[in-house]
Structure 1
């Protein structure tokens, strides 16, 4: 029978004493957590272990004796160590000794069932790394999972050091140096009132925003990326300002990732704001914005004049082409008048928008997306007009095409049924089909041109939105933790053989396999506020062909008109 003994490397140089740990009978393995030193009172030791069991929920006991033969050890000490098995009756009982050569160890196990002889495998592990690690992909009730769980849940045991005053003297990973900082302790103490104040402030802001939930205003706010981003920012602050302690690793990592992502976003926003206000970049941007808008309007007028002629040598319906061209030209004139009216206030508007960058780079990008949507609102109107007209014509042609085949659409049953038509119905259907078919090229050309313009605007907004989602959802804290302390995010363990000799226990070194960066992104990625299109390319092409409105980056909960 093989018995694994997990021994902490920090206890290799410990003085003589007792081994404190847990016996996992299901896996025939021993987890050594600390070495108890002399002098001690057995009653105090048992009481201390009983208190630890109530706190951790794990059964800890004295597993055996530890003898460091590298130090001076006389026969009386050896006999005293051997007699301790009668005081702390634990089965099995370990007898571990470190030889003076510091190369091989003696290890024996007494009290096994049926007097079996055990093949001992001695596994060294770094206690601090194992305690701080969060093991991913752990199988249920596996030996490694039980080992990690045992070390992680015994933090109260590691709070006591051998240099502390008291009846119990222990050696574990803190013997090499207690990690403590007065700054960290002060931050921990100050975090509770700060979170309480933040929660109160957020509750006041939430009560104020409820006034904006009136029906017309709520519909308008739902269409603006800035309002959605501010709502997400409030949710992030509520999570950070929550006074409830993180009970598990997942909630702690989510809070930490949200906090670090928020700080990084705000820092980038402040850098952008400082750049905008240095060198009068806002004034330069305002001076260039009006000529660009005029240039876009002039280009659209030229495009419409080209469509009203003979574009690419195509023969268009003159009357319909003239009506559509003048209709869209009138909208461009309205847009130019609107830009001229707003031109004196553009610099002031940009100045106040630049201040919003202090809330974060994602907020500034959301405002930029809304500005692009407002500046290209006439292109959106052109696309909607063309798509609706084209969709109406396609539906009319499809209905008349079913008339020729003796079919009709059953509205109640939502299916195509057979139907008999008289001569007058067939004549009228043929006349309408011919008119719609000959008018289709003119409308299809306008629809195609304005759809391409709309897709170009949507592509720019999509890039901005993906950048915003990247800032909001990337787990920066988890990535930095994986880079600086890779053992904190463990995907498993590997063993490296150190020494092997006949009659001696096999010595292995356990090392932690870090979680790959791709799995870190997948596991700790923060939830995004947007839903991306689930339509396939074939479905999108079908919608474009029949003239349905497409919103590739529409928000959650929105319905297509």
Structure 2
């Protein structure tokens, strides 16, 4: 955005009208967006300063209960055969104790970090002086740090789930008398020995008995990760909205649409002496004004589409957030 502002210094007066209009709108829209960002950031800083004690108390009480205690209770509930669901006892205890131990280690780090809460609050308040977008970006980084243990649990559970799925798929091909051909990327018929069939039967029996327990714990952390992704998507959408909203173009479009021309046409007026021809201009349509913003929204919607997320969940892939570098479309109105 600062690049777009500084580029106006190198504007040549004899440039093409369309290029000059784009540079003019881009320059002043960037200034308007930055000023509004700073104003909202100052207002938000004032809110943080007036409610510093209350907000710190809420954060200190809510972090451990939300990110640790509730997850630990859920793991203990799953380990006690909930609703008559008979999981594998040994594997369930291994999952439960392992994840509870990881969360306990993170809780100890959180207790040390809470002593730095006044300093973190001061940093957030200071970042608000640079604009609301700086506060949102810092909040996203804090969410990444605070939910690192949940991301690790999701990564471990999804890795195990994905490998078990691959194992079951390979054993399914074995029972059908087929084998996956890596070179040709297809499944070809294959004759297996009795020993191979016996080993496949043993492995399939183990995988079938362990898979429900693996699926239950994977579902828990997949849902937790999905909730974090929804929070990320909301913050990133708001961040993109504040960074790229065409505020100046909308002001020109509503106040003096002739300063935001879209196209020109010839207006023929018949008079008693003949006719006169005048050049008129169409204002830029709202669809064009929001075209770049709509493109950014489509990229966000494509990345966080429920079908895409659902496929990744079923395949055991780790749910990723939207790349921060992809939230910067050029403003070409």
| CA distance, structure 1, for counterparts of residue 188 and residue 294 of structure 2 | 50
For the pair 1:288 / 2:58, whether they are aligned, the reply is yes
Select the structure that is richer in helix. Answer: 2
2:316 to 530, 547, 550: 547
> Are 1:475 and 1:526, in contact at CA under 8 Å, matched by a contact in 2?
no
Aligned to 1:131: none
Give the secondary structure class of the aligned counterpart of 2:115.
helix
| CA distance, structure 1, for counterparts of residue 313 and residue 211 of structure 2 | 15
> Are 1:290 and 1:339, in contact at CA under 8 Å, matched by a contact in 2?
no
> Are 2:127 and 2:134, in contact at CA under 8 Å, matched by a contact in 1?
yes
- For normalisation by structure 1, the TM-score amounts to 0.52
For the pair 1:344 / 2:109, whether they are aligned, the reply is no
| CA distance, structure 2, for counterparts of residue 276 and residue 287 of structure 1 | 13
> Are 1:475 and 1:521, in contact at CA under 8 Å, matched by a contact in 2?
yes
| CA distance, structure 1, for counterparts of residue 311 and residue 132 of structure 2 | 37
The 10-residue stretch of structure 1 (252-261 or 399-408) with the greater mean CA deviation from structure 2: 252-261
> Are 1:478 and 1:520, in contact at CA under 8 Å, matched by a contact in 2?
yes
Query: Could you give the per-residue CA deviations for residues 177-213 of structure 1, whole angstroms, max 9, x where no partner exists?
Result: xxxxxxxxxxxxxxxxxxxxxxxxxxxxxxxxxxxxx
2:3 to 238, 247, 252: 238
For the pair 1:372 / 2:143, whether they are aligned, the reply is yes
Query: Could you give the per-residue CA deviations for residues 349-373 of structure 1, whole angstroms, max 9, x where no partner exists?
Result: 1112210111111110111111122
Deviation at 1:415, TM superposition (A): 2.9
Give the secondary structure class of the aligned counterpart of 2:262.
strand
| CA distance, structure 1, for counterparts of residue 298 and residue 136 of structure 2 | 15
Q: Judging changes above 3 Å, is the alpha-carbon distance between structure 1 residues 272 and 473 closer, same or farther for their aligned structure 2 residues? A: same
Matches within 5 A, 1:111-126: none
| CA distance, structure 1, for counterparts of residue 197 and residue 324 of structure 2 | 45
Give the secondary structure class of the aligned counterpart of 1:409.
strand
| CA distance, structure 2, for counterparts of residue 251 and residue 495 of structure 1 | 26
Give the secondary structure class of the aligned counterpart of 2:300.
coil
| CA distance, structure 1, for counterparts of residue 153 and residue 38 of structure 2 | 37
| CA distance, structure 2, for counterparts of residue 526 and residue 553 of structure 1 | 16
2:28 to 256, 259, 283: 256
> Are 1:261 and 1:476, in contact at CA under 8 Å, matched by a contact in 2?
yes
Q: Judging changes above 3 Å, is the alpha-carbon distance between structure 1 residues 263 and 526 closer, same or farther for their aligned structure 2 residues? A: farther
2:77 to 306, 309, 312: 306
Aligned to 1:324: 95
Query: Could you give the per-residue CA deviations for residues 332-381 of structure 1, whole angstroms, max 9, x where no partner exists?
Result: 21122111111111111111221011111111011111112222222211
Aligned to 2:260: 489
1:393 to 164, 169, 172: 164
| CA distance, structure 1, for counterparts of residue 150 and residue 184 of structure 2 | 38
Between the two proteins, the alignment pairs up a number of residues equal to 317
| CA distance, structure 2, for counterparts of residue 552 and residue 237 of structure 1 | 26
Q: Judging changes above 3 Å, is the alpha-carbon distance between structure 1 residues 356 and 552 closer, same or farther for their aligned structure 2 residues? A: closer
Aligned to 1:274: 46
Deviation at 1:460, TM superposition (A): 0.8
| CA distance, structure 1, for counterparts of residue 258 and residue 314 of structure 2 | 54
> Are 2:226 and 2:319, in contact at CA under 8 Å, matched by a contact in 1?
no
For the pair 1:532 / 2:300, whether they are aligned, the reply is yes
2:206 to 429, 435, 444: 435
2:133 to 350, 362, 375: 362
Give the secondary structure class of the aligned counterpart of 2:320.
coil
| CA distance, structure 2, for counterparts of residue 517 and residue 527 of structure 1 | 14
Deviation at 1:239, TM superposition (A): 3.2
Give the secondary structure class of the aligned counterpart of 2:116.
helix
Deviation at 1:311, TM superposition (A): 2.1
| CA distance, structure 2, for counterparts of residue 373 and residue 425 of structure 1 | 46
> CA RMSD, aligned part only?
2.7
| CA distance, structure 2, for counterparts of residue 528 and residue 260 of structure 1 | 20
| CA distance, structure 2, for counterparts of residue 293 and residue 552 of structure 1 | 22
